[in-house]
Structure 1
């Protein structure tokens, strides 16, 4: 399990970075972990889940690697409210990947990006960057 890193702000520029693979997998995962409530305890060198919602804590006592785990990504997808399922398209104008680009790693990164956009929307986080690419 990786130690925490300094995370970029939760902005549309960060979301685009996840989609375009300019933000590494560790950062993408830790952005979601942070939003889910996983916290790193530097004294024990462990990730703690006390602030994580029970449905996540029970399924994933340790934060999952969403890029490598299909089941974790499916759970992430299912946790997006129906009205937020198309935020990548609605807010960013992202039309998806081309057929030749459709590989699990990229589609899981798109799921992470959409989940983070949904989180921004639900929490009323003010995005400081332009929504278009």
Structure 2
């Protein structure tokens, strides 16, 4: 997965602005969750994935297409970090009636990645 963009606030903002494709968004999430693809066996290795994710998703889910996976992602964001898109990036959200479930899932992915960055000490708290 070396072709991925760097994980930083600019990348997260690009996710919300739909400047990064869905596949790349998924790959960023998978990498952060611990999924690794073994090209020699053509299989996913979930050894580094936490048990609560590995049990439900032994292979990485498509977060953009799967509502259940996105719900699990949302629930894994600590309550105090659920507004990071607004507080760190100034994202005002989408207007009612002008956004799709896909955009909402991308926003969830972006917020989860911001939370991940903050937990790793890579962004201000």
Normalising by structure 1, we get a TM-score of 0.89
* 1:125 partnered with 2:122: yes
Give the alignment partner of residue 17 of structure 2, picking from 11, 14, 20. 20
* Structure 1: stretches of 5+ with no match in the other structure: 128-133
Task: Give the whole-Å Cα distance in 2 for the aligned partners of 1:50 and 1:81.
Answer: 24
Task: Give the whole-Å Cα distance in 1 for the aligned partners of 2:97 and 2:80.
Answer: 29
Contact 1:80/1:118 (<8 A) preserved: yes
Contact 1:15/1:113 (<8 A) preserved: yes
Task: Give the whole-Å Cα distance in 2 for the aligned partners of 1:49 and 1:28.
Answer: 18
Q: Structure 1 residues 118, 126: CA separation in 2 closer, same or farther (over 3 Å shift)?
A: closer
Deviations 1:81-119 (A, max 9, x none): 011000000001101012232210000000000000000
Structure 2 counterpart SS, 1:29: helix
Task: Give the whole-Å Cα distance in 2 for the aligned partners of 1:126 and 1:114.
Answer: 13
Instruction: Map 1:82-121 to 2 at 5 A.
Output: 82-121=79-118
Give the alignment partner of residue 47 of structure 1, picking from 30, 40, 44. 44
Paired residues, number: 124
* Structure 2: stretches of 5+ with no match in the other structure: none
RMSD: 1.3
